Amino acid sequence: MSEKSVLAILGSPHISGTTATMLDCAIQSAEKKGYTVITVNLYEKNLSFCTGCRACMNTKVCIQKDDIQEITDYLHKCQTIILAAPVYWANVPAPVKNLFDRLLGTAMEETSTFPKPRLKGKKYMLLTSCNTPAPFSWIFGQSSGAIRNMDEFFKTAGMKPIGKIVCANAANKKGLPKSLIKKIERCLK
């Protein structure tokens, strides 16, 4: 695993939308800083639903054979994961939630008390966008709901956050504000 490797995951169906633009900005910044970037567009991947079989608790990787094995390999290979997903119903879009479900045993081990992380030492960065304007997007649980949900996966996996960035009021913005671009660029050292 290279210290300067990034897995960039797009969890939006719009490849030119606000969320994708935020991710592109993070990728460009990472490449400028000498990182190798692997990009995954979740909406182009073949991923069945989690069946809740829990076999992955022992195998550490899902036993359903589709694109999850490739994504799991990338997760292990990369030091930093950047996940970009829009707010859908104060949460993440269904394919992103399904990705977390499919990675249950990859991310954590069950014990008789608290879960034991299986991806310790890695870093993560979260990018999201929503139509509710700030500060209501945060106060009323819209962007905060999506961020909380994404955090739950990465924290339980033992990973450390390096940035959580929200573009609120996205429908009324033409391009990303300069301040937001700077925030994104500052996350990766």
CA dist., res. 6 & res. 37, Å (int): 5
Give the span between the Cα atoms of 62 and 65, in whole angstroms: 8
Tell me whether residue 40 or residue 157 sits nearer to ligand FMN (CB atom): 40
Identity of residue 102: R
Nearer to ligand FMN, 49 or 89 (CB): 89
Which amino acid, one-letter code, is at 46?
Answer: N
Report in angstroms how near the CB of residue 50 gets to ligand FMN at its nearest.
21
How many Cα atoms sit within 13 Å of 2 on the Cβ side?
A: 10
- Least Å from the CB of residue 44 to ligand FMN: 15
Question: Whole-number minimum distance, CB 184 to ligand FMN, in Å?
Answer: 15
**Least distance in angstroms from the C-beta of 34 to ligand FMN:** 28
Minimum CB distance to ligand FMN smaller for 121 or for 133: 133
Binding residues (CB under 6 A) for ligand FMN: these are 12, 14, 17-20, 86-90, 129-132, 137, 142, 170-171
Angle at CA of residue 123, ends 121 and 124, nearest 5°: 145
Residue with nearest beta carbon to ligand FMN: 17
Closer Cβ to ligand FMN, 86 or 105, answer by number: 86
Alpha-carbon torsion angle 107, 109, 112, 115, nearest 10: -20
